[in-house]
Amino acid sequence: MTRVTTAPSGGDIVHPSALPFILVHLGCFAAIWSGVTWQAAALGIGLYWLRMFAITGGYHRYFSHRAYATGRVFQFVLAVLAQSTAQKSVLWWAAKHRHHHLHSDTAEDIHSPRQGGFFHSHVGWIFDRRNDPTDLVKVEDLARYPELRWLHRFELLPPAVLAGLCFLVAGWPGLVVGFCWSTVAVYHATFCINSLAHVHGTRRYVTGDDSRNNPLLAVLTMGEGWHNNHHACQSSARQGFRWWEVDTTYYVLRLLAAAGVIRGLKAPPEALLRDEQPPGARALHRTAERLAARFNPLEAADAIRLGSQTGELAALKEALVHARERAAELLAGLHLPHIPGRMEFAREARRQFAKTKAFDEIVDRARDLFLAAVGEQLARPAEQRA
C-alpha cells in the first residue's frame, strides 16, 4: 500500500481501517453512471435520519454515556443500526468518545480543533493509525456482552449487509445514492460536532473546553448541536435544555420510553437548568489554566528583572526559592507594577467564558497559577530560563 504524508499527530495518513471511509466517498461519484431515481433518493433520506438517530441515540447517548437503560435485544438492534453507518464498532466509538470527554480540547484529545486545526478535528484524526486500537478498559461495561464483542470483530458486516439491501431494493442508484450518499452525509454531519461545535456557537456553561451550542447543527444531527449543554451534563438523555432547543433524538427516546422499549431516561439537574450549579472541579481547573495562559509569565519575569535593583532581585529570588509552593502568595503580596492585577484577569475572564457562579474562584485560581509560573521563571538560573 502506498504511503503518503503524515497526519498532524504523526500517524500514517492511509491505513487499512481507513479504506472503507475513502471507498464510500469515492462511491458517491458513481452516480454519474448509475443516475439518481426518486426511489434511491427517498431511500437515502430515510437512511440518513434512521442512522443519524442510531448515532445520536445509540453510539452517543446510550453506548458512550449510558443516558438510559434498555434490554439486550434492543441494545443489539441499536448496535447493528449504529454500525451500519460504517463508523466502526460501538466499543471503538464509545471508547474514543469517553476519551474525548476526559481530555476535551487538551493535548490528549484526539480530535480537537484547538490542538490540530479544523481539518484534523473533522476528518484528519481518522487517518492516524494510532487512533485505530480500541481501549477496552474504557468500555468494560459494554465489552462484557459477547454479542457486542462479536460486532466489534465483524464491524463492517452491518454496513455491508445494508449496502446489499439497498442494491436489492433500488438497484445501482440504491447502492450509490441510497447507501453511499446517505453514509457520507451522516459522516460529515456527525464530524461537524467534533469540529464546528467546538468553534462556532454560544457557550452557556463553563465546561473547561471549547464546546458550543449551534442551532443549525442541532437540526442536522437531531439535537447533538446543543454541545455545550451536553458537555455541562454528559449523562443527560436530553441535550436541548430550553423549550426552544429542538432535540429530536430526545423526543424519539421519550416515545420509546412510553412504549416500554427503553427506561430510566436521565435528566439534567434542576440547578444546572437554572444556571445555579457551579462547574465541576475538572472544568473549573481547566478554565483557570486557560485564563492564566492568556498572560505571559516570562514577559512579566523579564520586566521584574529589568525594573529591580540587583540587591532587590537577589533577595526576591532567594525568597522565592524558600517559598516554593507559596510563590504565588509571596508575589501577590508584593504588588509589583509589572504583574497584571486581579482586575485584568477578571476583564479577560469576562471575554473568555460564560457567566458562572464560580467566576471569582476561577479568576483567583488563574492568577495564582500565573504568579506561580512567574515565580518559577524568576527562581530559575539564567541558563535554565524558558
pLDDT the model gives residue 47: 98
Domain end: 273, 297, 325, which one?
273
Residue 218 lies in a domain: yes
User: Are 219 and 111 contained in the same domain?
Assistant: yes
pLDDT the model gives residue 3: 34
User: Are 294 and 147 contained in the same domain?
Assistant: no
Between 118 and 323, residue with greater pLDDT: 118
Residue 68 lies in a domain: yes
User: Are 358 and 248 contained in the same domain?
Assistant: no
User: Which of 63-67, 281-285, 362-366 is modeled with the greatest confidence?
Assistant: 63-67
pLDDT the model gives residue 383: 46
User: Are 141 and 20 contained in the same domain?
Assistant: yes
Residue 31 lies in a domain: yes
Domain end: 236, 256, 273, which one?
273
User: Are 207 and 319 contained in the same domain?
Assistant: no
Amino acid type, 68: Y
User: Are 143 and 52 contained in the same domain?
Assistant: yes
pLDDT the model gives residue 295: 87
Q: Is 19 exposed, middle or buried (0-12, 13-18, 19+ CB in 10 A)?
A: exposed
For residue 224 the three cell numbers come to: 447533538
Tell whether the model's pLDDT for residue 62 goes beyond 60: yes
User: Are 196 and 329 contained in the same domain?
Assistant: no
For residue 380 the three cell numbers come to: 530559575
Cα→Cα distances 367→312, 332, 342, Å: 23, 9, 7
Residue 144 lies in a domain: yes
Residue 207 lies in a domain: yes
Cα-based torsion angle of the residue sequence 258, 264, 268, 274 in order, rounded to the nearest 10 degrees: 60
Residue 8 lies in a domain: no
The structure's pTM equals: 0.87
Write out pLDDT tens, residues 311-368.
Answer: 556 666 666 655 655 665 666 666 666 678 888 888 888 888 878 888 888 888 888 8
pLDDT the model gives residue 7: 39
User: Are 163 and 68 contained in the same domain?
Assistant: yes
Domain end: 273, 297, 326, which one?
273
**pLDDT category of residue 2 using cuts at 50, 70 and 90:** very low
What is the number of structural domains in the chain? 2
* DSSP notation for 135-160: -GGGGHHHHT-HHHHHHHHTTTHHHH
pLDDT the model gives residue 312: 55
Nearest to 52 by CA among 228, 226, 248: 248
360 lies in which domain range?
A: 281-384
* DSSP notation for 242-304: STTS--HHHHHHHHHHHTTSEE------HHHHTT-SPPPHHHHHHHHHHHHTTS-HHHHHHHH
User: Are 137 and 256 contained in the same domain?
Assistant: yes
**pLDDT category of residue 206 using cuts at 50, 70 and 90:** very high
Residue 3 lies in a domain: no
User: Are 205 and 327 contained in the same domain?
Assistant: no
User: Are 261 and 337 contained in the same domain?
Assistant: no
User: Are 298 and 264 contained in the same domain?
Assistant: no
Tell whether the model's pLDDT for residue 9 goes beyond 60: no
Residue 186 lies in a domain: yes
